[in-house]
Structure 1
Amino acid sequence: MFELSVENTGGHVIHLKGEIDIYSASDFKERLYNSIGEGGQDVILDCSDLSYIDSMGLGILVGALKRIKQQNHDIVIKNPKSTVRKLFRITGLDKVFIMEEAGA
């Protein structure tokens, strides 16, 4: 199961929970892109409760990053679990996205 919630207190924070896979990807894309459209600022994706993301989910994040870069903003991946962090590292996306660990 996948959940996404948005918090706009002192920044645009999107909390991701559960798994982003082929079954939840279209919902994730729609909700993420809608949230970015509301933005006008950097987006922080709080991944502390995200247990899994597949290649489809990573592709959606890359597309979202391209959109937000056009607005001169960025996406920060915050507090990813080790499994999620490993996928970013293996794919090289840890060099594309700003990655923040707990306490950073």
Structure 2
Amino acid sequence: MARQLITVEGVDRSFGPVDVLQDVNLVVNHGERIGIVGHNGAGKTTLLNTVSDQKQDVGDIEFAPGLRIAYLTQIRDLESDRTIEEELSRKGRQFQELEEEIAAIEAQMVDPAFY
């Protein structure tokens, strides 16, 4: 049986009188990849923000123990003195740092001396 990394059950999210997410259910298992597709205003970003911040109005969001959630948000403000390539490179460095941290943890996991 696949290990569940993210479980979302019956999640609702509203902004004032507007219901953006209603009764959302989602399971992401280890090794799976997902895509979130929809028209503008459908709630894709709200779903990502709600899951990553665990700020739902109703419902449950659970992560597997030790799971860290990170995603690159939509770029709202670009520095006027930077090119798009420079901005993306800057964000890429943050992901590179995460990859290096993951590699260090993986190295510890396979090192018998660590245990």
Judge same fold: TM > 0.5, yes or no.
Answer: no
TM-score, normalized by length of structure 1?
0.28
**Higher gyration radius (CA):** 2
TM-score, normalized by length of structure 2?
0.27
Q: More strand by proportion, 1 or 2?
A: 1
Q: More helix by proportion, 1 or 2?
A: 1
